[in-house]
Structure formats: C-alpha cells, structure tokens
Structure 1
Amino acid sequence: MDSFELGRLTDHDFEEVCRDLFTELLGVPLEIFPRGRDRGIDLRHAPEGGPCTIVQCKHWYRSGRAKLLAHLTDVEVRKVAALKPDRYVLATTVELTVDAKEKLRTTFAPHIRSTEDIHGVDDIVAALRERPQLVERHFRLWLSGTAALGALLHKGPLLRSDWLRRELAKVAQTFVPHEGFERARRLLDEQHVCIVTGIPGAGKTTVARMLAAWRMGHGWEVHEISQDVDEVTELWRDGVPQLFLYDDFLGQTTLLPQFGKNEDVRLLSVMRAIRDAPDKALVMTTRHYLLEEARRKHDRLASDDVRDALTGIRLTDLDLLTRGRILYNHVHRSALRPLQKRQFAARDAWLPVVSHRNFSPRLIEETLRIDLKREPDVATAMVANLDNPRRIWERIVENELTEEAVQLLEIVFTYGSVGLVELEETWTWYRRESEREADGRRFRHALQVLDGTMLVIDEGVVSFHNPSIADYIRFHLNAGRGQLGALLASCGDMQQVVRLVDAGRLADGGGIITQLM
C-alpha cells in the first residue's frame, strides 16, 4: 500500500493538500490564506450568517511532538480563543499519540469538538491512501509517495545514468507544475512522443525530467539517450514500458556536431514506431531556434510527425503565482540560513524577482547554488543576475577560477561531452601550446574545483552542468578571453574544430571567426 513522505512537501504544499483533503472530509469548501496574514487561520469555511470552521495546518515534521504541543498550548490556543470558531480542526505532519490528542482536545475545548478533529501524520496519510485521484492532482504530493519516490531514489537499474537518477530526485524537490508541463503531459499521453522547445532557462529540461519521473513512478523504465537516436533501438524491449529521454537532441549551441548522417531519417522512423507502441514513450528537448535551423537544413523535420509532437515551454506559462512558488521552493530547499530565508518573506525582496522580465528558474537555482557565501543579500544578487544573466558565470570564470580550470572549461566546450582520459590529454596539449605547466596534479585539482558546480562527471564522461555555462564559455571565447590559437592547435578531433567554427557562425560569434582566420 502506498504511503507518503509528507516531510518532502513545503509548508505551502501541505496547506494546499489539506485544503483539498479537508474539503472532502468536512464536506465544505475551504479558503486558503497567504502566510503572514492569516491571524492563525490557514484554511476557513465561513459562510455569511453560518458556522465558522477553521483548519490549522502545522507542517512541523522536523520539530517533533513535544515542540508542537508546547507551541499549540502557549501560542495557538490564545489565537483560537480570540477567533471563536464554531469548529477548529488541526492537521499536522507530526505523529500524535492518543494521549497527545486528548490533551489537545481538552486544551482547545470547546472549539475542538472531539479527537476526530485532530489529524496527525498517520491519519492524513491514511486518508490520502483512500483518495488516489486527489493525490495525482498534487504532483509534488504524488512524488512523495513510496512508489514514485522509490522509483526515483532506489531503482537505479531502471535508469542508464546514476546522475540522471539523482537529478530527477533533486528537481522533484523544487518543481512547480504549470500549464506548460500539463500541456506536455497531455501530448505525451496522446502521441507517445513529445518534443519540448523553449528559450534557454525557461525550464524545458525540467519539464522533460518530470515527465520521466511521472512515468517512472507508474512503473516505467527511463533511459537517457546520450549520443544519437540509434540508442533507442538498442534499448528497446518488447512488452516493457519504457520512456526514452533525449535532452538537447539537436545540440546545445549548434546543430551539426550532434545531428549525424541520416539521423533525421532514423529519428522519424523511431518516432513513428513509438507512436504505434502503447508501452513506449519518447521525450526530446531542444532550443526553439535550433529546431527552426534544423527544419531549414532537414526537410524531413518539417513533417507532420515532428509538428504533431511539438510543444513549447513559454515564459507566459510561468504566471506570477507559479513564479512565486518556484522561488519559494528553491529558497525553502536551499542551504540559506533561516534568517536569510526569512528575508524573502518581505514583499520588497520577492516581488522584484518574480515580476522581473528575465525571470528564469535556472537563474534562481544558480544564484542560490553559487552565490550563497559570496553575497550578503541573496535577493539583491538574484535581481542583478536577472538584469544580466551573464553576470553569474562571468564573475566566477573571469575572477575566481584558476587558469587551469578555465582552460578545462574551454576544452569541454569544444567537445560538448568527453571522456576523462581524452579530456586530460587535450588539456595537457592545450597547456603546452599555451606555454604553461601541465601535470596530473594540476588537472585533477582543476577538475575537482569544477565538478558538481560547472561540470558533471557521469560514468567517466564530462559535460557542462547546464547549457547556460556553455553559452557563457562561447561568449568568453568570442570576446578573446581565451587563447583560441592554442586551443585550436590542441584539438585532436575534427568535431572540436567544427564546433568552434559553428559557434563562430552564430549571430554573436564574429569574434571567434576573426580569431580563427
């Protein structure tokens, strides 16, 4: 029987779940109130001239029963006495004993009618088990279920990539479902194939990963495609529900290095096979402008097969409420100190962020991940990064990293992704061409500094943590901040040269072409 780890929900998540749950349990519609203005009211039913019911939600799973009881007795009982509701219902993520419930009933009498109006975590989980449709309406609640969570955290064999398994679990902690996600999920259900497009940072990769998590939680295998679409046919198993995740299937900055000979034909063939298979699904992502470029170069990608599978993640999908929840979730799960987190409760701190024209979930995440120890005012740093998205990487790359680490990033840019052995060999040649010292100790130190922040190492393959870093390194090289001649001389693979040339052909890549000539 499924259970739920309610501790994985934020306070707001828990209140929304309780609103829907207690609307059913009590048989009355409940209002929900913003934090900080509730006067002790989280949920309320107060018809004009009728009896008033208040539901209080206490998400105190980390604090424990003793602290919760002390708080309720010392603080909340006075608030309830002042409000004088006809009925007071308590819901908490803390485990409550029979004695604890009886004590609370006595303390809050006459507003708590009986211990049936006191719901500890076990009572709430039991009620949720009986309401699977309610659970599925709350995506983050569903993700906290033992079936979904077990798939994300423990069923490594269902995933080709350990790193992807960790990423799915991490992204699930902060993900906020929105219209773009629901649109993609409907399309995947109907077509079995979904191509998610969008501008950098809009959240298309997050949507793709959550589609994968959704299917995993329902017993599907998830396979990450890392090279080309031929991997799908190699991994295909008849009679086994499988989802194939092909992130950035047209590459991150240019088409040619990623799209191999006749791959357009093979891609369409795989898409058609999956569309006809009830137990197969394919999710792909790409940047919108790369897809348009691919359509011009490959007529087959302008076909109905591609058009019918296409959906986009637009900034308009992220309304102010969704943006606020994204910010709240990231701050809630961040390593900020409690005092720093409370700063975001102030309207002057959060409103400039969620209303910013350049609002990006990626920049929110990166600011909290990178700037925690460097910025005394994280909210101000967040707005500055939204004003100038290049700022977050520029300061780190140009001012804080060693030359060895920067050159390592430049080499990864020429590859896209590369094995550790090949990376070290190329880095050594680059250092020698630059007339710099090169040894294994320096290489390992540079890699250690970058691993987990700007680079990802997965099964011996090194790649950028996210595409925005590749975008910045392209700007860095275009501005003449690297040693492009030495970098070119160190290239041992023609595809590295092709990547550099194609980067120079982009609208903002003239500086690269000039240096290569």
Structure 2
Amino acid sequence: MHHGGVARNYADLSPYDFELLVRDLLQAELGLRLETFPPGRDGGVDVRLHRDGSEQLIVQCKHTPGKRFSEIKGQLEREAKKVSGRFTATYMLVTTGSLTRANKIEITKIFKGVNLKEPEIWGVDDIENLLRRHPSVEQKNFKLWITSTATLQMLLHSAIYQRSSGLIDHALNQAHKYVHTEAFPISLEMLEGHHVCVISGEPGIGKTTLAEMLILHHIAEGWQAYVASEDVSDIDKVWRPNEKQIFFYDDFLGQNSLTDKLNKNEDGRLAQIIQRMKRDPSKRFVLTTREYILRQAAQVYEPLRRISAVNDDRFILKLDHYTPGQRALILYNHIYFSKLSLVARQSVIEGQLYRKLVNHRNYSPRLIELITATYEDSSSPGQTFAEYAHSGLEDPEHLWNIIFEYQLSESERNLLLVLATFPTDVLQDDLQEALAGYESVRCVRNTTSREVLSALKRLQGTFVTTMQRKIVADDELGESLATLVRFSNPSFNDYICRSLVLNPRELTPIIEGCQFFEQLETIWQWHLGLFAKSYHAHKIEEQINLTSERVIPILSPRGLAAALHRTMSRNSCQIPGTQIVNLTVRRKRFYAASRDASILKMHSDSNFSLLTNQEIEQIIERLERRVQADPETFPIDTYATRSILSLLMRSGARVAQLVRLRDQAYEVITSDMSTPDEYDEAWRLLTLEGFPLFAELEEKKNALRDEFLAFVKDWDRVKSEEAASGSECENAIEEVASAGHTLGIPYEIRTPLLDEVREQFDDEHDRHFEEYYQGSSSQNSSLRDVLNEASDKRSVDEIFETLRWGESSTDG
C-alpha cells in the first residue's frame, strides 16, 4: 500500500487512532492479542499484554507528530514521575516524535523507575519500519495510508488529480474526521462482487463521506475516478474500455424530489449503465440518494424497477444508524481536528456533556460538522461550546437562523438566498445577474463583481464550493475559464424552504427577481412541498400546525405566471457535466416545447389556477407551429409534444383541435425514424391516455411493430460493425430491448450479431483481467478481514478525556 521511504502523515490521527495503531502493530509483531486499557488520567497505561493472570507488557503512547525530543522532554519527565515504581511488567514507550539513539538512552534514564529498556522505546522511524513489515496494519488504519505522503504525492501529481481535483480535495479534507464503521467493508464487498453500490440514507447521515472514502481507496489502488453530475450521459463521455474506472453519482435521484430530476429517458440510460457496470470487472459505480426518494424511484421509474437496481439488497447499502461508540468518535474527531479553543473543547467534558450530544435524537454527522465549524464566529454571549452544540441539536432550525442572520452580511445572505433557487451548479456570472435582479426588486444597492467574489471566498467551505471549468459560452468566441458555484451543505436548501413557510411574503421579491426559467421551476418545487424535512423542527410545527412531513411555502399563481413568461426565452442557466474536469462544458440548450410542457404541468398541479385561457391558447398556437414546421429545419420534440397534448387535454382545451395536432405529430415522427427512442415515442403517442383512439388503431400498432422488427435487424448489423467494446454492444442491445418492451414485443427482439460481437469482447476482456483478479483477490480479502476484525474499544469517557489537556499532552 505504501511506497518508498517517505514518512506518513501521523498528524491526521487522533490520540485514540494512534493507540489503536500501536496496538495493531504490536499484535502483528508479537503474534499476540493485546487490549487497550482505560485506567484514567494517571494510570500511565494505554495498551497492555495480560497473560496467565498478570500484566506482562505495559505500553504508554505519546502522540506528538513532528516534534523533536527537546520539545517533548518535559512531558516525558512528568510522565516518568507518575509511573515510577508502579509497574514490574516490561514498560514500553511509543511516540510519533523523532528520536535518535542518544535520545533513547536519555529516556531510559528519565524512566529509571520502571522497567524501560532502549529497544522498548519507539520513535517515528521505528513505527515506519514496522509498518513496512506489516502492510495489513496500514490497510486497517485507513486514515494513515490514505493521507500518507507517498499516497498524497501520487494523488496530487497525477492525471487523476487533474481530472477529479475537487473530489479528491474534499475527500482528503474529510478523511481525518472519518470514523470507520462496518459500512465501509460492506460497501467495498458490494463493489467487488457486483461493481455497483447505492448508498441510501437520511439527509446528513454521511452518505457522501462514505462514498468519498470508497473513491479515495480506489484512487490509491490505481483506479481512475470520475464524477457524474446532472446527467448519466457524463459517464458515456469518459468511458474507456479495459481501464480501471470508478464513477460517482452523488444524489443521483435529486436532493429533494424526484420531479424532473432524471432527464428525458435518463432512467433508461441509467439502467443500461448499471447493467454495463455489473458485467465489466474494470468498472465500479457508487451512487448516493436520500432513502425516501429511493422508495419513490422504485415505484416511478419503470426501467430502474426492471433491473431491480433500486430494491435489491445486493446493490443497496442503507446507512441508517451509528452505534453509540461510532457517534462518540465522530463527535470527538470533529472537535479534535477543529479550530476550537482549549476552553471550548473542555466545555464538553465538564459533567460529561458529550454524552448528551452523542445521544441526542437529532444527532447527525452533518449537524456536528456545522456546529464545530461555526461556533467561533457565533458571537453567542456567555454560551459555551457545549451549550451552543446542544441548542443546535435541540433546534437545528434555530442554529441555521443564528448562522444566517448573525454571522453573515446582508449581501452574503442575499447571495445564498438566490443561489438556493438554482437547480444545479451555476456560473458565477449568472449568479451575479440573478442577485442583481433580486436586489433591484428589493430596492437595495447592487453587489459589485468584486464584492461577489469576496463574499464567495468568505462563504467557501461551510456554505459554498467553487470550481474552475473550461466552458464554451459562445461558439464564435470559443473556450474560456469560468467559475461555477454550488452549495457545499445541502441542508441550507431545506432551511431556506422552511423559512419561507414562516415568511411567505419573501417569495414575491424572489420570484420577481428571477432571471432564469429554471429558478422558477425550483421555486415551484418548494411550493409543491417536494422539499422534505431533514429533521423535526418543533417550533415550526407549532407555528404553522403541520400535520405532514412536507412544508409548503405559499405563492401567488399570477405572479409566478408573469415571471415564467418573462423568462421563457432566456438562456438556460444549467451547465451539465460540470464535475467532469477534463471535459469542456456548455450551457445547456433549452427547448421552448419543454418549457411549455413545464408551465402546463405547473398549471395542472395548481388545480388549473396558473394560466388564463388566453395563455393556454398561446401555448396551443406555438405547438401548432412546431408540428406543422419542416422537420428538417425545425425537428419536433415528441417527448415534450406528448406531455403538452396530455396536459392540454386535462386543462379543458378543445378536444377536436388537440386530436388533430396529435395525429399530425404522429405522422411527422413516423415519417423518418432512425433510433429506438423514436419508435418508443411513436408508440407512446399512438396510445396517449385520455385521447379518443386513432382510427384503425390495431392496424397502426401492428404496422409500427413490424417496422420496428425490421429496423432492429438493420440496427443489429450496423451497431455490431461500429462497436469498439463490449459495453457499446451492451448499450445498443439495451436500447432496442427497452423500446421492444414499450411496444409489447420484448421476446421478439433478436440481436444475434451484437450478441456475438459482445461475447468476443467479453472473452478478451476476461482474459485481460484474469491476472488482475488473481493478484488482488487475496489482498482485498485481507483488507475486509482486518476491517471487520473485532477491536477492543476504550470507553467513551476515556476518549474524551484526551481533549482536556490540548495538543501538548495526550495521556491515555
């Protein structure tokens, strides 16, 4: 695992982590089982060997990374006085400090009151030597090897880093606070056995952190990492046959709702890609989603349901709880590695207040992270850190309110409020334009470009993440560098939505200030109550008497309709694929038909109170122009057309007019079909629910099926000749299979040429990876064994006691 003789980064270990490392090294070296031992502050024992009724080895651990003997000598002298004459067993001292042989001789003199010999004194060089002899120990101590200098150099100076820098930086920043649970080896086993792992759980429980640790593990093992963002087709763009690639799709079903999350037919493409991953040993796929959205997806998305990817325990890891010990370690790590003062740290020890925090009903890793990150700026008069943490857990809504109202400037608050209306990563220029629109409506001074940049720097980390990407904003101007902005804490979206329930009048200036159509679509999601509550905010429930798990800001339908029409022809603010670093991204192209369909869907969801009859007639006129246009110069979007027709029928538009438009649209699409998607869409239009049946419907169905079967033969021949990999064959087969399922003839679809070519690619692929699997299986098995190995836990009280003395002393 570790390469070369470069020192490891011990500073990312807590004192407790270091004790476990020493215990594991001794067990490996001696071939005997040792235990951590909680004796209290003055015991002088961190690890011991107890055999035949007596203690045979006593180990004292001093975690002093990077310090020389002269810097820790005073600490050792104090320790020697405490233990003098207390032990007859062999005494051992292990430190992460740097020791020379002369230093060790002097230490034996300092510890003359116990049986301490020079060979039983280990400094950092001795630990390094033992880790080289026992690599399985380093594998077990995840934080040590993942942040070792050698691993970091490999990560930061490779093409992998250039491609996935944002992911690696964030993951490494989280690694030292990460607490290993059984979820890690279980998810590793899923990836090794099935190549796909869906991590589901409630907001803030640590899904993304677990996923990032899995990605880091694979990167350190030589895998290429890629992050999909808004569209699963991102993965297709960077797929490389026979290369070890791991893909990450965070919140793949959306952070708050299923509505419109998966783009047109993306559920089918996602199903295809999952099938490809399962067949390809050179690929891994990690996805995360909120648990309640996963349940919805199993009911809504038929292609996902067919492959059982969203309800199969072999693929799904439900992250639903932590043991009390794990919760305690997560809290401890966040405090230990924070910038909190010694007084703040000690406040959680008094009266064992950490127990109240660890056992709190609203405990979540995300809230703990937020609390430790914001306390020093909270300006809470007379409130200790322990009190601040408890009040934050007791009422997370109030915590967000304190941070939002008292720790941020007005321009920062406005910027975050506007950012919450964007559905995806947003260009800094677009964010500034939308901010200016909101500020103009509110009649406040517009924030300048320099002030926006300064605000983003201050908000970086706790609130937002920024990244540089190459973008083509204009084909004539070519590529340019742009800054993209996103929330780093999804809980803020929930907070904004809930705060608007209590302040509904705030919605009006937000809507009037919107500069992009997609902002208004996001606000409509808020209004529908599709942003689920992350936790119970009791004060809000009391004020608005909520009886459900949804919060619904109220808005003016006519005000929203005016804003929708105002932004109808504006460019899209969406930038798909922004996490794939080595791809140049473009602003997403918008389609008027899709926006018409979106407006009509809002009209339907509002019980038909959004649009006037005149506005509905305008949508019908636009639809007529599209259907009757020359398809070569103005191709029809059948997916959007079908949605518009269906929604117009429900809106009470003239039936005869809609039937005529449907028949015309069917003639247009069936006049020239060249993809399985188009046959799929033609069939759905032919059987459109709520419309009078086509004349000679059965004849049209049979004709479409016959034409499709003939098309499949040609598709099979052409795609088998073009295919450059087994995965391309798989994709082509899945496309016609999906359309065949829609047309009701799944068992009549035959692709013999593609099947044969895929088999040839798969055979070649299997031979190529046989050696890889033989070489890695024993190592992976060993990793699982050591990660699953039972470990003696020091008591929670003993772990938190190490916070009492700060960094200078870490007595066990």
> Which bracket does the TM-score occupy, shorter chain normalised?
over 0.9
Q: Which moved more, 1:486-495 or 1:13-22?
A: 486-495
- Structure 1 residues 249 and 75 mapped into 2: Cα distance closer, same or farther (>3 Å)? same
Where 1:184 maps in the other structure, the secondary structure is: helix
Q: After the TM superposition, which residues 391-470 of structure 1 pair with which residues of structure 2 at under 5 Å, given as runs?
A: 391-416=398-423, 417-440=425-448, 443-459=452-468, 460-470=483-493
1:18 matched residue in structure 2: 22
- Partner residue, 2:296: 293
Give SS of 2:317's match: strand
> Which residue matches 2:384?
377
Q: Is the 8 A contact 1:19 1:30 kept in 2?
A: yes
Instruction: Using the TM superposition, name which of 14-23 and 239-248 deviates more.
Output: 239-248
- 1:449-504 superposed Cα distances (whole Å, 9 cap, x missing partner): 43333122112111111111111111122322663223223334332222211222
Q: What residue is the counterpart of 2:640 in the other structure?
A: none
Match of 1:228 in 2: 231
- Whose radius of gyration is greater, 1 or 2? 2
CA deviation map 1:373-413 (0-9, x unaligned):
32441111111111112222112223443443333222212
Aligned to 2:593: none
SS at match of 2:486: strand
Aligned residue type for 1:454: F
Equivalent residue, structure 1, for 2:643: none
CA distance in 2, matches of 1:151, 1:35: 41
Aligned to 2:577: none
Bigger mean CA offset, 504-513 vs 128-137? 504-513
Q: CA deviation at 1:93?
A: 0.6
In 1, the alpha carbon distance for the partners of 2:345 and 2:410 equals 35
Give the aligned partner of residue 170 of structure 2.
167
Shift of 1:239: 2.7
Aligned in 2, Cα 1:82/1:355: closer, same or farther, shift over 3 Å? farther
Map residues 73-222 of structure 1 onto 2, 5 A cutoff: 74-109=77-112, 111-112=114-115, 114-155=117-158, 157-158=160-161, 160-222=163-225
Provide structure 2 residue ranges, at least 5 long, that are not aligned to the other structure: 469-482, 530-548, 561-609, 611-812
Distance 1:97 1:293, change over 3 A: same
What is the TM-score normalised by the length of structure 1? Answer: 0.93
Query: SS at 1:90's partner residue?
Result: strand
Deviations 1:80-112 (A, max 9, x none): 323223201111111111111122234434744
1:319 aligns with 323
Bigger mean CA offset, 40-49 vs 196-205: 40-49
Q: What's the counterpart of residue 508 of structure 1? A: 550
Q: Could you tell me whether the CA contact under 8 Å between 2:228 and 2:248 is conserved in 1?
A: yes
Closer/same/farther in 2, CA of residues 401 and 113 from structure 1, 3 Å limit: closer
The whole-number CA distance in structure 1 between the counterparts of 2:352 and 2:505 is 40
Q: Which residue of 2 aligns with 1:264?
A: 267
Q: Distance in 2 between matches of 1:512 and 1:125?
A: 62
CA change 1:403–1:373 in 2 (3 A) is: closer
Secondary structure, in 3 states, of the residue corresponding to 1:52?
strand
Partner amino acid, structure 2, of 1:393: W
1:36 Cα offset (Å): 4.0
Judge conservation of contact 2:258–2:297 (CA < 8 Å) in 1.
Answer: yes
Q: Residue 257 of structure 1 contacts residue 498 of structure 1 at CA under 8 Å; is this kept in 2?
A: no
> CA RMSD of the aligned region, Å?
2.3
1:339 aligns with 2:343: yes
Aligned amino acid, residue 309 of structure 1: F
Matched, 1:305 2:312: no
Residues 88 and 115 of structure 2 are in contact (CA less than 8 Å); yes or no, is this contact kept in structure 1? no
Could you tell me how far 1:251 is from its partner in structure 2?
1.6
CA distance, structure 1, for counterparts of residue 49 and residue 490 of structure 2: 47
Asked if the contact 1:148/1:216 (under 8 Å) is kept, the reply is: no
Does the C-alpha gap of structure 1 residues 162 and 108 become closer, same or farther in structure 2, counting only changes over 3 Å?
Answer: same
Which whole-Å CA distance do the structure 2 matches of 1:447 and 1:27 have between them?
54
Distance apart, 1:244 and its partner CA: 1.1
Distance 1:135 1:400, change over 3 A: closer
TM-score by length of 2: 0.60
Structure 1 unaligned spans of 5+: none
Q: Secondary structure at the match of 2:271?
A: helix
Give how far 1:366 is off: 0.6
Question: Against the structure 1 CA distance between its residues 5 and 402, is the aligned structure 2 distance closer, same or farther, given a 3 Å change threshold?
Answer: closer
Matched, 1:65 2:65: no
User: In the alignment, is the contact (CA less than 8 A) between 1:159 and 1:165 conserved in 2?
Assistant: no
Identity %: 32
User: What is the one-letter code of the residue matched to 2:507?
Assistant: L
Q: Is the 8 A contact 1:44 1:54 kept in 2?
A: yes
Aligned-partner SS, 2:119? helix
2:397 is matched with 390
Q: Could you tell me which amino acid in structure 1 is paired with residue 550 of structure 2?
A: D
Larger mean Cα displacement after TM superposition, 359-368 or 440-449: 440-449
- How many angstroms apart in 2 are the aligned matches of 1:24 and 1:165? 31
SS in 1 for 2:309: helix
User: Are residues 1:367 and 2:371 paired?
Assistant: yes
CA distance in 1, matches of 2:89, 2:128: 26
> Which whole-Å CA distance do the structure 1 matches of 2:55 and 2:11 have between them?
32
Give the one of 510, 517, 526 matched to 1:487.
510
Q: Distance in 2 between matches of 1:484 and 1:455?
A: 22
Separation of aligned partners in 1, 2:505 and 2:23: 56
What's 2:662 paired with?
none
User: Does the 8 A contact of 1:159 with 1:224 survive in 2?
Assistant: no
Q: Work out the number of aligned pairs and report it.
A: 514
Q: For residues 111 and 400 of structure 1, what CA distance do their matches in structure 2 show?
A: 53
Compute the displacement of 1:183 (Å): 2.2
Decide whether the 8 Å contact of 1:159 with 1:223 is kept in 2: no
CA contact (8 A) 1:253 1:503 kept: no
CA distance in 2: counterparts of 1:156 and 1:353, whole angstroms: 42
**Greater mean deviation of Cα atoms: 59-68 or 214-223:** 59-68
Listed one character per residue, the Cα deviations across residues 241-290 of structure 1 (whole Å, up to 9, x for unaligned) are 11111111112112234311100011011111112221211111111112
Q: Please give the secondary structure, in 2, of the residue aligned with 1:244.
A: strand
